[in-house]
Amino acid sequence: MCQAAGRVTAATEVHHMRGFHGIHDPLRLDRRWLAPICVPCHRRESQRDGVDARR
């Protein structure tokens, strides 16, 4: 997301592009649905997705 906006930012978190149901759900760690992301973008995406951003 930062790169698309013309910024270079270190990705320090992982965004789940597809929801998962609990810690034992295999989709939770499926690399096809994970994206490296910086903290501000992750918060924004989590709010957009309706997920509680715990930080």
Check residue 52 and give its pLDDT. 60
CA-based nearest residue to 40, from 8, 11, 4, 3: 11
User: Residue 54 — very low, low, confident or very high, per pLDDT cuts 50/70/90?
Assistant: low
Average pLDDT, whole number, for the chain? Answer: 85
Distance in angstroms (rounded) separating the CA atoms of residues 10 and 46:
18
Residue 55, domain member (yes or no):
no
Q: Is the pLDDT of residue 45 over 90?
A: no
Asked, for residue 15, whether it belongs to a domain, the answer is: yes
φ, ψ (nearest 5 deg) of residue 23: -65, -25
Q: Confidence class of residue 37 from pLDDT cuts 50, 70 and 90?
A: very high
- Total domain count for the chain? 1
For residue 13, the enclosing domain spans: 3-49
Cα–Cα dist 37/12, whole Å: 6
Residue 54 included in any domain: no
pLDDT recorded at residue 26? 87
- Cβ proximity of 24 and 49 under 8 Å: no
